[in-house]
């Protein structure tokens, strides 16, 4: 029973972390190295708050954020598939631009007087149960899509060997666009929920770094929708209960900064656990991940 209560307590953190990591899973399964994720999450957080200040409705704002970040995913898919570009370079330069845009968009919203009109939100039992149900449904749905549908099969095929997939008549561009649209919608929704459910306001730097945690969850979960749920749970406990833990550990000189650092240390440790154990073979990364796919035009 206590575990269940604790589970309800971490529901908000679990939801946004899991959604963003699931987004990363879908994107990377299609072979796109997703280094823009942190920029997208930071930008998503800022624009979600900006929408909220304008629309004063969390649902509309979340949808608007989803659409905006999905458009970003479309851009990434097209740039890395249609053009012979390095995924890493596109991702990192986009990350820097998005960090900049996050401040550019977020500040006017944070300074706006309309901020006081945002409807109050209380984190009650019903919401948390709904969030947990959403996580469970999403995990099952994306798992079904990836492993049981034609779309999932093409996404995996394109991630493993885009050239072979292309010869078999699959449009690599179309598949990656679809995967990015799904993935980035989830990342966008995650970043909106991060603002609406967790920090509830925006200040410079909000959301920066959370994208990397989400990416680590996805990596440590072997880019598997169901396995990632467990990893996401571990992280959400750390994030949700760090202030409680400091109550116990504060006497030993542990500060909130140490806990902030700890999240990222665990992110790296989870990558090590994944890479150093047989998990690496069981959940092998897509073979074509991050490799530029560019078919030479031979007819001209």
Partner 1 sequence: MRVMRIVIVRRSRVPTLWGRNAILILVPILSIALGILACMLIFYVAGVSPWIFLNEVSAGFTSPQMVRYFFLLTALGTALAIAFRASIWNIGAEGQMILGMIGAGFIGLFVASKTIYVKPGELSIYENMPSAVVIDRSPVNPVVSILNMDPLLGQILMILVGSFFGALWALIPAFLRAYFGINEAASTLIMNYVAYHLYNHMISTIFRGLSVQAKQFFRTDILHEDLRFQPIPGYTVTYEEVVLATLFFLAGVVLLGYTSAGLRLKVMGSNPHLLRVIGINERKYILLVLLLSGFVSGAVGASIFAGITYKLETIKTVVSPPTMNLGYTAVLVVLLSLLDLRLVPVFAWIVASLFQAGVLLEIEIKRLGILWLTGASIQYLLIGTVLMIFVLTRILAEYEVRVVR
- Sites of contact with partner 1 (CB under 8 A): 35, 38, 79, 82-86, 88-90, 92-104, 107-108, 110-111, 203-205, 208-209, 212, 215-216, 219, 253, 255, 257-258, 260-261, 264-265, 267-268, 271-272, 275-276, 294, 296-297, 300
Minimum Å distance from CB 63 to partner 1?
25
Q: Where are the alpha helices (DSSP H) in 161-299?
A: 162-167, 172-193, 210-220, 227-249, 256-276, 279-282
Minimum Å distance from CB 262 to partner 1?
8
Burial of 169 (0-12, 13-18, 19+ CB in 10 A): exposed
Q: How far apart are CA 229 and CA 21, in angstroms?
A: 9
Nearer to partner 1 (CB atom), residue 81 or residue 185 = 81
Closest CA to 98 of 131, 127, 75, 129: 75
Nearer to partner 1 (CB atom), residue 150 or residue 298 = 298
Strands (E), 86-208: none
Residues in Cβ contact with 21 at an 8 Å cutoff, skipping those fewer than 6 apart: 214, 215, 217, 218, 221, 228, 231, 232
Nearer to partner 1 (CB atom), residue 59 or residue 89 = 89
Minimum Å distance from CB 93 to partner 1?
4
Burial of 232 (0-12, 13-18, 19+ CB in 10 A): buried
Minimum Å distance from CB 165 to partner 1?
20
Nearer to partner 1 (CB atom), residue 84 or residue 247 = 84
Nearer to partner 1 (CB atom), residue 24 or residue 143 = 24
Minimum Å distance from CB 125 to partner 1?
33
Nearer to partner 1 (CB atom), residue 43 or residue 184 = 43
Minimum Å distance from CB 215 to partner 1?
7
First to last CA, the chain: 68
Nearer to partner 1 (CB atom), residue 80 or residue 240 = 80
Half-sphere exposure of 93 (CA within 13 A, CB side): 8
Minimum Å distance from CB 277 to partner 1?
10
Closest CA to 20 of 239, 261, 193, 206: 193
b/e 92-128 (16+ beta carbons within 10 angstroms → b): eebbeebbebbbebbeebbeeeeeeebeeeeeeeebb
Backbone phi and psi for residue 2, each to the nearest 5 degrees, phi listed first:
-65, -40
């Amino acid at each position: 029973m206590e575990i269940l209560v604790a589970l309800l307590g971490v529901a908000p953190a679990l939801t946004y972390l899991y959604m963003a990591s699931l987004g990363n899973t879908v994107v990377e399964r299609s072979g796109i190295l997703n280094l823009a994720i942190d920029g997208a999450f930071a930008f998503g957080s800022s624009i979600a708050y900006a929408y909220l200040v304008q629309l004063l409705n969390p649902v509309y704002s979340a949808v608007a954020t989803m659409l905006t970040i999905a458009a970003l995913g479309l851009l990434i898919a097209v740039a890395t598939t249609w053009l012979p570009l390095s995924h890493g370079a596109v991702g990192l330069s986009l990350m820097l631009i998005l960090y900049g845009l996050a401040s550019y968009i977020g500040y006017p919203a944070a300074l706006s007087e309309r901020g006081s009109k945002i409807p109050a939100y209380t984190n009650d039992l019903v919401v948390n149960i709904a969030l947990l149900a959403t996580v469970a449904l999403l995990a099952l749905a994306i798992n079904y899509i990836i492993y049981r549908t034609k779309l999932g099969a093409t996404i995996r095929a394109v991630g493993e060997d885009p050239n072979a997939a292309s010869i078999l008549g699959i449009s690599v561009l179309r598949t990656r666009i679809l995967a990015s649209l799904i993935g980035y919608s989830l990342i966008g929704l995650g970043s909106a929920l991060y603002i609406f459910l967790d920090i509830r306001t925006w200040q410079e730097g909000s959301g920066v770094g959370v994208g990397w945690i989400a990416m680590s969850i996805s990596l440590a979960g072997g880019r598997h929708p169901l396995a990632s749920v467990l990893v996401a749970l571990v992280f959400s406990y750390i994030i949700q209960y760090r202030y409680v833990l400091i109550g116990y550990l504060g006497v030993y000189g542990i500060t909130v900064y140490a806990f902030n650092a700890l999240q990222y240390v665990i992110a790296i440790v989870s990558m090590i656990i994944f890479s150093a154990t047989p998990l690496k073979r069981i959940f092998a990364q897509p073979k074509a991940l991050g490799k530029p796919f560019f078919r030479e035009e031979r007819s001209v």
